[in-house]
Amino acid sequence: MTNKKYLYVKGCAGLGNRLVTVYSALQYCKKNNRSIVIDWTDGQFDKKGINAFEKCFEMRVANETKIEAIPNWEQLTHSSVLFKKNKGEGVYDLYLDTQSTLWKKFPMKLFFLESSRKLRRRWQPIKNGSFSNSLNFGSDLKDNRTEDVLYYVDSLPYLDYSELPNSIKLKSAVAEKINEFARQNNISKAVGVHVRNTDKRPTKEVIRVIDHIKAMHSTASVFLSTDSKEAEDLFAKNISNLILFPKQKPQLNGEGMHQWALYNNKDDQKYMLYEECVIEMYLLSKCNYLYYQGNSTFSSISKVHHNNKNNCYNWLKLQ
């Protein structure tokens, strides 16, 4: 038997959350001497069973193990019996995101025990689930857990991820697509704007950022990344030199762009929608000025990749 221990990261939620969770998990690995395993085979960004992370991204760290390279799976100890028995299943196939409206009113610092943190939030099995057989959220795990395979599933981990670009990089083929579009459209001189307006909505009117750009960047081209036809139409009406990345535009009914193909059984469109989101996330970071939407992790990751943070503005805070 090997003494090697693994931190097995199951993807959940959208692209921004998944990337931040990978970064958060990596910090746990460094502190606890574990090898990171990234599993985005849940069927959200590609056909189920295909690891979508590996199609667009790779780690900059050496201490990574591929799913198929873990030896003696059945002999290893696991923090989740369900995941051990159902290796190919995603978190939402087996668990419910269980949040307590009561306990979440109290500050996190009061919940210093790993077990008490499950009062606030936990992953509870869908079948025969209870407090005792639930999983902690990844960022609620204590150090020095003893399981050979420790599962890490999280939503909006509590950490500063400004150094994320030093840990995760694009696959070269995807980077080439981004760079080519950026060159052709002179993105480095453009103003980038992200508007998320479906499953997560802005807290301010979109016209506010449009008016600001017209006043402050009247001659600049504007690159818009949005999941909203309404927002796109509003920009097109007000901004003459608008740049849009050519992409699929499914009719959304309140779900996020990352959820549409999954909810509508469009397996053949999952990867393309995912890749287009990745491309837009990085194109935003290459713009001269970036107006990011502060309540969107997708948007905030564009900011952390931007070379000049002084040119980045949370448009929800514009006066």
What is the SS3 string spanning 142-159? Answer: CCCCCCCEEEECCCCCCC
Task: Note whether residue 301 is domain-resident.
Answer: yes
pLDDT(54) > 90:
yes
Give the pLDDT score at 106. 86
Q: Which of 152, 181, 206 is the last residue of a domain?
A: 152
pLDDT, one tens digit per residue, over 293-319 is 999 999 999 999 999 999 999 999 997
Under 8 Å between Cβ of 214 and 235: no
Task: Note whether residue 161 is domain-resident.
Answer: no
The enclosing domain of 284 has a CATH number of 3.40.50.11350
Under 8 Å between Cβ of 299 and 319: no
Half-sphere exposure of 293 (CA within 13 A, CB side): 25
Same domain, 103 and 181: no
Same domain, 181 and 310: yes
Same domain, 88 and 189: no
Q: Which of 124, 152, 180 is the last residue of a domain?
A: 152
Task: Note whether residue 157 is domain-resident.
Answer: no
Task: Note whether residue 158 is domain-resident.
Answer: no
pLDDT(15) > 80:
yes
Task: Note whether residue 206 is domain-resident.
Answer: yes
Same domain, 185 and 138: no
Task: Note whether residue 130 is domain-resident.
Answer: yes
Same domain, 313 and 198: yes
Give CA–CA dist 313/311, Å, rounded: 7
Mean pLDDT in residue range 97-118? 87
Same domain, 135 and 183: no
Mean pLDDT in residue range 270-278? 95
Same domain, 77 and 12: yes
* Cα-based distances in Å from 210 to 189, 234, 275, 316: 17, 9, 27, 12
Domain that holds residue 133: 6-152
Residue 148 has φ and ψ, to the nearest 5°, of: -65, -40
Give the pLDDT score at 261. 65
Same domain, 200 and 280: yes
Q: Which of 152, 184, 211 is the last residue of a domain?
A: 152
Give the pLDDT score at 251. 73
Give the pLDDT score at 266. 76
The H-or-E segment that residue 251 falls in is: none
Mean pLDDT in residue range 94-119? 88
Residue for token pair 């001189």: 189
Give the pLDDT score at 111. 87
- β-pairing, 95-99 vs 121-125, is antiparallel
With bands split at pLDDT 50, 70 and 90, how would you rate the model's confidence at 126?
very high
Q: How many domains does the chain have?
A: 2
Give the pLDDT score at 12. 92
pLDDT, one tens digit per residue, over 185-239 is 999 999 999 998 876 677 678 999 999 999 999 999 999 999 889 999 999 999 9
Sequence-ordered list of residues with C-beta below 8 angstroms from that of 136, at least 6 positions apart, any chain: 114, 117, 118, 122, 123
Same domain, 10 and 141: yes
Task: Note whether residue 159 is domain-resident.
Answer: no
Same domain, 228 and 269: yes
Nearest residue to 192 via CA among 223, 158, 230, 161: 223
Give the pLDDT score at 108. 80
Question: Which of 50-54, 223-227, 258-262 is the least confident region?
Answer: 258-262
Give the pLDDT score at 2. 61
Residue for token pair 């198929």: 68
Give the pLDDT score at 252. 66
- β-pairing, 149-152 vs 35-39, is unpaired
Give the pLDDT score at 72. 95
pLDDT(156) > 90:
no
Same domain, 264 and 141: no
The enclosing domain of 29 has a CATH number of 3.40.50
Give the pLDDT score at 293. 95
Under 8 Å between Cβ of 122 and 98: yes
pLDDT(267) > 90:
no
The DSSP code sequence of 94-116 is HEEEEE-TTGGGS-GGG--SHHH
With bands split at pLDDT 50, 70 and 90, how would you rate the model's confidence at 253?
low
Give the pLDDT score at 257. 62
Give the pLDDT score at 255. 58
Same domain, 141 and 182: no
Mean pLDDT of the chain: 92
Task: Note whether residue 50 is domain-resident.
Answer: yes
